[in-house]
């Protein structure tokens, strides 16, 4: 079902090209466009403009200490914005385009708004795989800052309807490209000088995949300072009490099942973790919209992408 808002355009099939052309005009003029990526919907604006980046923070009600991910077409465009060392190049070559964000030293001549980095000397960069955001980057020729397209602290959007429900008229244009395939935000890895690496946020690219490339021995634990506010304890909040690891449905709870544990809906009846990641936010949105006062979720194994699912669930419950 397409979202029925005047500022929402279909961005599939024959509608793709004209919708991208319209969206590129909005971006060039410094406006905001909600756009599907393979992870979740992003709220995009040109990353080289202070006022465009400010419009993202304003629309989301996002605290200004929480920096944004900048989306680019390829490694060459990334290299004009940040310093890419051997380890970063290895990750980019293996996982771009895809759901991996690299936090790298920002180039002094990057020409980006300082606000995208929230004052940090680093820059978070990603080359997305989804055809709609790729078409928008190509049409504008600009690096696009794009956090998730929801009110700050709320559940991330995996459909255009979620965006319209959360941001409505606070966004200039919404591109409806259907449901997001991955459904969970990108893995964020900070690449340190000297080959060390730190996972700032677990995601679809697993720690094991990163370790296979850079070496498990080079993993550095996250420091005391908050480097990725996605690490804040409370995030992704559905607006109702959320009970984790529920072994069975209980009265008063909207039950989200997994595997053999049934529910009002399920992350994956087959117990498939990739399917569970893709359905996670949709299930939380459904729980938030239901008449039941509480939400409960069945146990999800903490392996592979299950680590990212449990990370999001813990923060949603906090």
Enumerate binding residues for ligand AMP (CB under 6 A): 66-69, 103, 117, 120, 122-124, 147-148, 185, 188, 200-201, 227-230
- Residue 227 CB, shortest distance to ligand AMP, in Å, is 4
- Residue 203 CB, shortest distance to ligand AMP, in Å, is 9
The residue with its CB nearest to Mg ion is 148
- Relative to beta strand 42-46, strand 33-35 is antiparallel
> Which of 99, 259 has the CB closer to Mg ion?
99
> Which of 149, 273 has the CB closer to ligand AMP?
149
Partner from ligand AMP, Mg ion, none binding residue 122, C-beta < 5-8 Å depending on class: ligand AMP
- Relative to beta strand 42-46, strand 8-10 is unpaired
Partner from ligand AMP, Mg ion, none binding residue 103, C-beta < 5-8 Å depending on class: ligand AMP
Tell me if 122 contacts Mg ion by CB under 5 A.
no
- Residue 10 CB, shortest distance to ligand AMP, in Å, is 24
- Residue 228 CB, shortest distance to ligand AMP, in Å, is 4
Tell me if 148 contacts Mg ion by CB under 5 A.
yes
- Residue 146 CB, shortest distance to Mg ion, in Å, is 10
**Rounded Cα distance, 160 and 174, in Å:** 7
Partner from ligand AMP, Mg ion, none binding residue 123, C-beta < 5-8 Å depending on class: ligand AMP
Cα four-point dihedral sign 241, 245, 250, 256? positive
> Which of 140, 148 has the CB closer to Mg ion?
148
Partner from Mg ion, ligand AMP, none binding residue 235, C-beta < 5-8 Å depending on class: none
* Of the candidates 43, 49, 242, 47, the residue with the CA atom closest to the CA atom of residue 152: 43
> Which of 155, 256 has the CB closer to ligand AMP?
155
> Which of 230, 306 has the CB closer to ligand AMP?
230
Segment contacting Mg ion (CB under 5 A): 27-35, 145-153, 170-178, 281-289?
145-153
> Which of 156, 206 has the CB closer to ligand AMP?
156
- Residue 101 CB, shortest distance to ligand AMP, in Å, is 6
Partner from Mg ion, ligand AMP, none binding residue 268, C-beta < 5-8 Å depending on class: none
> Which of 148, 310 has the CB closer to Mg ion?
148
User: What residue ranges bind Mg ion (CB under 5 A)?
Assistant: 148
């Amino acid at each position: 079902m397409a979202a029925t808002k005047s500022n929402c355009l279909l961005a599939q099939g024959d509608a793709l090209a004209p919708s991208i052309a319209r969206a590129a005009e909005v971006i060039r003029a410094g406006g905001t466009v909600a756009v599907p990526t393979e992870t979740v919907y992003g709220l995009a604006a040109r990353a080289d403009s202070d006022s465009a980046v400010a419009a993202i923070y304003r629309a989301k009600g996002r605290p200004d200490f929480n920096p944004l991910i900048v989306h680019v077409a390829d490694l060459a465009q990334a290299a004009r914005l940040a310093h890419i060392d051997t380890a970063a190049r290895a990750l980019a070559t293996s996982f771009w385009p895809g759901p991996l964000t690299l936090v790298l030293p920002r180039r002094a001549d990057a020409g980006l708004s300082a606000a995208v980095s929230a004052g940090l000397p680093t820059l978070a960069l990603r080359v997305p795989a989804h055809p709609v955001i790729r078409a928008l980057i190509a049409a504008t020729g600009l690096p696009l800052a794009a956090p998730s397209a929801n009110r700050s602290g709320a559940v991330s959007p995996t459909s255009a309807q979620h965006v319209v429900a959360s941001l409505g008229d606070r966004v200039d244009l919404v591109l409806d490209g259907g449901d997001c395939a991955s459904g969970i935000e990108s893995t964020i890895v900070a690449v340190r000088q000297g080959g060390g690496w730190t996972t700032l946020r677990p995601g679809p690219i697993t720690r094991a995949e990163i370790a296979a490339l850079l070496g498990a021995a080079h993993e550095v634990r996250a420091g005391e300072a908050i480097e990725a506010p996605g690490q804040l304890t409370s995030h992704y909040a559905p607006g109702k009490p959320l009970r984790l690891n529920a072994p069975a449905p209980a009265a008063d709870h909207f039950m989200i099942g997994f595997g053999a544990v049934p529910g009002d809906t399920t992350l994956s009846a087959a117990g498939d973790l990739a399917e569970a990641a893709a359905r996670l936010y949709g299930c939380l949105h459904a729980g938030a919209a239901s008449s039941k006062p509480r939400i409960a979720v069945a146990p999800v194994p903490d392996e592979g992408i299950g680590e990212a699912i449990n990370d999001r669930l813990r923060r949603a419950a906090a």
